[in-house]
């Protein structure tokens, strides 16, 4: 679920988020989100399904007033059956969490059981360089407040490869993050995205990025330090204590179905009834009739057709569609069996466990080698992929050259 508001736009950010929107806008946006939930709850796709995970991301969800955020979470619960052990995550910017913890208490009462803080770095000069609105001390206060409010599942996002950052800075950031006792750490390397202030600095030759070998050292030493402290490296950029992998993101990496709500949100679902801008799904065919990748695919006995689709990006147009009582879908594309197989490979190979031969064959009726034999052979010969029993996974070298691996399956 996407909340598109931020207090200030960070220098590296190209997410669909907007600074400077007021309280009225927030009220209207939350009302639109609830209207979108109503429309989905009335459709057949989610009927009889239990929701295993909810993720409220952004933007900065915690920029919303606590009562509005709580309304979003209770709104989900009122319309969709949540699994008793559902993972309910809210992303939080430490600069928008009141130390008294009122907002955090409201979130807990509304059912949030996981909180993910954008901490990014231990050094305030780096946080300022990124355009973050918080200090490291505020991260510490926010984590302590979350714990007081009853959150025990706390994730921290960190960044490396930042302008002016040294491997020593990143090591200190990791040690500091570990001292805060999180259950989960995401460590992302900075990507300079087109159109951002960092991109313009980079074009002008003014972005003092660390050299490639320093960034490589940050990744390598970070991995070693986190693993030595009991974290499992389970996805290229993600580490978890035992039992605390992000179940929501595992759905993406395992290429399973999900519904995105909010402006610009993406979904992957089997549609049983027409959607605005996508038309009617064609009637289902049995999988046995589509070997080789027909454009129409469904699993036997399941009606409808799989689509990836996305919502209107701007909050205004998103809200306008809902005001007229229609789902705010901008466009989408049917996902045929070939595409689903390719996506299952390149998403699954982000996970360090890799892609299971048995699960792949159970889903598609063919083993990975039968479909991708030459590509897998090439990548194994280059030392980028390896078989670990029945799992095809990245090697240590493949981990740093993931783009080469994933490109083979796109
Ligand atoms: S807080 Fe997050 S979403 Fe908002 S501008 Fe910064 S990086 Fe982007």
Kindly report the pTM of this predicted structure: 0.93
Same domain, 229 and 373: no
Instruction: State in Å: Cα 311 to ligand 1 middle.
Output: 20
The reply to whether ligand 1 has any atom less than 6 angstroms from the CB of 9 is yes
Same domain, 304 and 177: no
Residue 268 lies inside a defined structural domain of this protein: yes
Q: What is the mean pLDDT of residues 380-391?
A: 96
The answer on 85 and 171 residing in a single domain is yes
Residue nearest to atom 3 of ligand 1 (CA): 59
Ligand 1 pocket mutation pick from 2, 3, 4, 6 by most atoms within 8 angstroms of CB? 6
Q: Is the minimum distance from the CB of 237 to ligand 1 under 6 angstroms?
A: no
Which CATH number covers residue 163? 3.20.20.70
Say if residue 246 is in the same domain as residue 147: yes
Cα–Cα distance measured from residue 50 to residue 34, given in angstroms and rounded to the nearest whole number:
19
Task: Write the pLDDT tens digit of every residue in 267-309.
Answer: 999 998 888 888 777 554 433 332 322 333 334 445 678 999 9
Unique residue bearing structure tokens 């689709």: 309
Distances (CA, A) of 351 to 154, 254, 346, 348: 21, 9, 10, 6
> Which residue matches tokens 């792949």?
360
pLDDT-derived band of residue 101, with 50, 70 and 90 as boundaries?
Answer: confident
Reported as a single tens digit per residue, the pLDDT across 132-175 is 999 999 999 999 999 999 999 999 999 999 999 999 999 999 99
Ligand 1 centroid distance, CA of 346 (Å): 26
Taking residues 379-386, report their average pLDDT.
97
The reply to whether ligand 1 has any atom less than 6 angstroms from the CB of 19 is no
Whether 21 and 154 map to the same domain: the answer is: yes
- Cβ of 252 below 6 Å from ligand 1: no
Same domain assignment for residues 210 and 359? no
Q: What pLDDT is attached to residue 274?
A: 82
Looking at residue 88, its pLDDT comes to 98
Q: Which of the listed residues 315, 335, 355 is the one where a domain comes to its end? A: 335
Shared-domain flag, residues 234 and 314: no
Q: β-strand 329-334 against 266-271: which pairing, if any?
A: unpaired
Residues 68 and 30 in one domain: yes
Report how far residue 335's alpha carbon sits from residue 307's, in angstroms, rounded to the nearest whole number: 5
Distances (CA, A) of 370 to 212, 226, 345, 407: 37, 37, 13, 18
Domains identified in the chain, total number: 3
Q: How many whole angstroms from 350 Cα to the centroid of ligand 1? A: 24
- Cα(19) to ligand 1 centroid in Å equals 9
Rounded Cα gap, residues 271 and 278, in angstroms: 10
Specify the higher pLDDT residue, 285 or 189: 189
- C-alpha–C-alpha distance, residues 12 and 245, integer Å: 26
User: Residue 215 C-alpha to ligand 1 middle, in angstroms?
Assistant: 22
pLDDT for the residue numbered 303 = 64
- In terms of residue numbers, what domain contains 310? 263-335
Whether the link from the prior residue into 59 is cis, omega within 30° of 0, is: yes
Residue 405 Cβ inside 6 Å of ligand 1? The answer reads no
Residue 32 sits in the same domain as residue 128: yes
- Which residue, judged by its Cα, is nearest atom 6 of ligand 1? 10
CATH number for the domain that contains residue 394: 1.10.10.10
- Residue pLDDT, tens place only, 46-76: 888 899 999 999 999 999 999 999 999 999 9
- Is 58 touching ligand 1 by the criterion CB < 6 Å? yes
Structure tokens at 79: 């319309």
Task: Report how far residue 64's alpha carbon sits from residue 256's, in angstroms, rounded to the nearest whole number.
Answer: 30
Pocket lining: 161 vs ligand 1, CB cutoff 6 Å = no
Residues 247, 268 within the same domain: no
Is residue 258 in some structural domain? no
Do 289 and 227 lie in one domain? The reply is no
Long-range contacts of 363-370 (CB under 8 A, 24+ apart): 364/337, 364/340, 365/287, 365/288, 365/291, 368/392
pLDDT in tens, 225-275: 999 999 999 999 999 999 999 999 999 999 999 999 999 999 999 998 888
10 C-alpha to ligand 1 centroid (Å): 5
Report the b/e string of 89-105 with b at 16+ CB within 10 A.
bbbbbbbbbeeebebbb
> Of ligand 1's atoms, which has the minimum distance to the CA of residue 9?
5
Does the pLDDT of residue 99 top 80, yes or no? no
| Domain contains 257 | no
The neighbouring-strand residues paired with 116 are 91, 155
- Residue 45 has which token pair? 């796709």
Average per-residue pLDDT for the chain: 92
Distance 122 CA to ligand 1 centre (A): 17
Clarify whether residues 104 and 205 are in a common domain: yes
Q: Which residues contact 324 (CB under 8 A, 6 or more apart)?
A: none
Q: What is the mean pLDDT of residues 335-347?
A: 95
DSSP, collapsed to helix, strand or coil, labels residue 103 as helix
Q: Is residue 116 part of a domain?
A: yes
Three-state DSSP at 343 gives helix
Which of the listed residues 314, 335, 356 is the one where a domain comes to its end? 335
* Last-in-domain residue among 192, 226, 251: 251
The protein residue with its alpha carbon nearest to ligand 1, atom 8, reads 13
The reply to whether 256 falls in a domain is: no
Tell me if 15 CB under 6 Å of ligand 1: yes
Report the alpha-carbon distance of residue 320 to residue 323 in Å, rounded: 5
The reply to whether ligand 1 has any atom less than 6 angstroms from the CB of 60 is yes
Alpha-carbon gap, residue 262 to 30, rounded angstroms: 9
Tell me: pLDDT of 224 over 50. Answer: yes
Give 19's contacts (C-beta < 8 A, 6+ positions apart).
5, 6, 7, 8, 9
Between the CA of 193 and the centroid of ligand 1 the distance, in Å, is 13
Q: pLDDT at position 283, please?
A: 55
pLDDT for the residue 272: 87
Ligand 1 contact, 116 CB (< 6 A): no
Under the banding of pLDDT at 50, 70 and 90, the label for residue 100 is confident
Q: How many other CB atoms are there within 10 angstroms of residue 191's CB atom?
A: 11
């Amino acid at each position: 679920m996407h909340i598109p508001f931020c207090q200030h736009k960070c220098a590296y950010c190209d997410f669909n988020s907007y600074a400077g929107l007021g309280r009225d806008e927030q009220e209207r946006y939350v009302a639109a989100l609830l209207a979108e939930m109503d429309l989905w709850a009335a459709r057949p796709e989610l009927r009889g399904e239990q929701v295993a995970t909810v993720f409220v991301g952004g933007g900065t969800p915690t920029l919303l007033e606590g009562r509005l955020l709580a309304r979003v979470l209770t709104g989900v619960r009122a319309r969709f059956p949540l699994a008793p052990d559902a993972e309910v995550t809210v992303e939080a910017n430490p600069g928008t969490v009141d130390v008294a913890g009122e907002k955090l208490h409201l979130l807990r009462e509304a059912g949030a059981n996981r909180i993910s803080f954008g901490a990014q770095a231990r050094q305030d000069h780096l946080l300022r360089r990124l355009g973050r609105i918080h200090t490291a001390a505020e991260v510490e206060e926010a984590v302590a407040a979350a714990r007081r409010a009853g959150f025990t599942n706390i994730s921290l996002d960190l960044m490396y490869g930042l302008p002016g950052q040294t491997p020593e800075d990143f090591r200190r950031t990791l040690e500091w993050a570990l001292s805060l006792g999180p259950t989960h750490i995401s460590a992302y390397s900075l990507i300079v995205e087109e159109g951002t202030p960092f991109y313009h600095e980079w074009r002008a030759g003014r972005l003092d990025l660390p050299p490639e070998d320093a960034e490589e050292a940050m990744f390598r030493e970070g991995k070693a330090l986190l693993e030595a402290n009991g974290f499992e490296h389970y996805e290229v950029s993600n580490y978890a204590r035992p039992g605390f992998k992000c179940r929501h993101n595992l759905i993406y990496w395992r290429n399973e179905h999900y519904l995105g709500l909010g402006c610009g949100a993406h979904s992957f679902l089997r549609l049983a009834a027409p959607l605005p801008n996508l038309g009617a799904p064609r009637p289902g065919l049995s999988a046995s009739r589509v070997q080789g990748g027909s454009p129409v695919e469904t699993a036997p006995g399941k009606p409808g057709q799989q689509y990836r689709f996305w919502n209107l990006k701007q909050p205004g147009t998103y809200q306008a569609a809902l005001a007229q009582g229609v789902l705010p879908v901008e466009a989408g594309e049917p996902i045929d069996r070939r595409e689903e197989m390719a996506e299952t490979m390149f998403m699954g190979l982000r996970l360090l466990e890799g892609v299971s031969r048995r699960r792949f064959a159970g889903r598609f009726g063919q083993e990975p080698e039968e479909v991708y034999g030459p590509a897998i052979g090439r990548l194994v010969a280059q030392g980028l992929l390896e078989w670990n029993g029945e799992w095809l996974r990245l090697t240590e070298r493949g981990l740093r050259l993931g783009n080469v691996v994933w490109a083979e399956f796109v």
